[in-house]
């Protein structure tokens, strides 16, 4: 009889706990298929993020397959150029990136034995990638090599805005229930 009297005294917290668990389970199941159409960033770089990075929020869950037109791929370009003035060319590349709405990630200049060399990594919006490359090619005497590759980050992307909206809906429901 002790258990029955305890349940009679604590029925409201028990019901509230069950409702919270049901709502959280429902919310978690609705978050597993979230996707965004396009990240909108190109990385023009000498390096890229390592493969196999997993998002901690999806532990133990598989996401639904994504159509190929909805895949989120970061395009990377490695370019080696012969230029007349290395420091001025690096400054010019940085200026091109900022003019096109991008930003510099890192840069380095070296001048061993009088033969200067430089490296710059920057990011620009995807739609301005080709324009940036065309302008950069004009800064050099010639392009020695160019390598373009993509890095599929679809499984690593989380649509935070949608998650926040869903959690706010759950919060409003909980406030109504507790209200």
Give the model confidence (pLDDT) of 121-136 as tens digits: 999 998 999 999 999 9
Residue 171 confidence (pLDDT) above 90 = yes
Sheet architecture: strand order including 117-124: 103-110, 117-124, 42-44, 73-82, 142-152
Would you say 89 and 96 are in contact if contact means Cβ atoms under 8 Å apart? Answer: no
Distances (CA, A) of 121 to 94, 107, 177: 9, 6, 52
- Identify which of 144, 147, 117, 143 has the alpha carbon closest to the alpha carbon of residue 48: 147
Residue 158 confidence (pLDDT) above 70 = yes
Residue 62 confidence (pLDDT) above 70 = no
Report the range of poorest mean pLDDT among 25-29, 146-150, 172-176.
Answer: 25-29
12 in a structural domain: yes
52 in a structural domain: no
Dihedral sign for Cα atoms in the order 20, 21, 25, 31:
positive
Do 83 and 109 belong together in one domain?
yes
Is the whole-model pTM more than 0.75?
A: no
Do 78 and 106 belong together in one domain?
yes
Give the pLDDT of residue 23: 75
Would you say 148 and 123 are in contact if contact means Cβ atoms under 8 Å apart? Answer: no
Q: How many domains does the chain have?
A: 2
Res. 63 pLDDT band, cuts 50 70 90 = low
Burial class (CB in 10 A: 0-12, 13-18, 19+), 42: buried
Q: What is the average pLDDT score of the chain?
A: 77
- Identify which of 13, 48, 61 has the alpha carbon closest to the alpha carbon of residue 149: 48
Do 28 and 87 belong together in one domain?
no
CATH number for the domain that contains residue 79 = 3.30.70.260
Residue 111 confidence (pLDDT) above 70 = yes
Do 13 and 76 belong together in one domain?
no
64 in a structural domain: no
Do 131 and 167 belong together in one domain?
no
Q: Domain range holding 23?
A: 2-34+160-178
Helix (H) or strand (E) holding 73: strand 73-82
Do 78 and 23 belong together in one domain?
no
The structure tokens listed for 153 are 């980050």
Res. 9 pLDDT band, cuts 50 70 90 = confident
Res. 28 pLDDT band, cuts 50 70 90 = low
Do 26 and 100 belong together in one domain?
no
The structure tokens listed for 177 are 């229930």
Do 127 and 171 belong together in one domain?
no
Residue 67 confidence (pLDDT) above 60 = yes
């Amino acid at each position: 009889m002790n258990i029955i009297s305890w349940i009679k005294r604590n029925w409201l917290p028990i019901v509230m706990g069950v409702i919270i668990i049901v709502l959280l389970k429902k919310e978690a199941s609705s978050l597993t298929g979230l996707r965004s159409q396009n990240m909108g960033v190109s990385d023009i770089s000498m390096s890229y993020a390592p493969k196999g990075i997993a998002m901690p929020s999806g532990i133990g869950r598989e996401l639904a397959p994504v159509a190929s037109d909805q895949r989120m791929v970061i395009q990377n370009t490695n370019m080696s150029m012969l230029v007349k003035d290395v420091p001025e060319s690096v400054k010019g590349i940085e200026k091109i990136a900022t003019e096109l709405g991008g930003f510099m990630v890192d840069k380095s200049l070296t001048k061993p034995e009088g033969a200067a060399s430089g490296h710059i990594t920057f990011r620009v919006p995807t739609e301005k990638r080709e324009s940036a490359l065309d302008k950069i090619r004009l800064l050099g005497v010639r392009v020695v090599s160019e390598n373009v590759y993509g890095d599929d980050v679809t499984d690593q992307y989380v649509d935070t805005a949608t998650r926040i909206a869903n959690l706010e809906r759950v919060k409003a429901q909980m406030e109504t229930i507790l209200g």
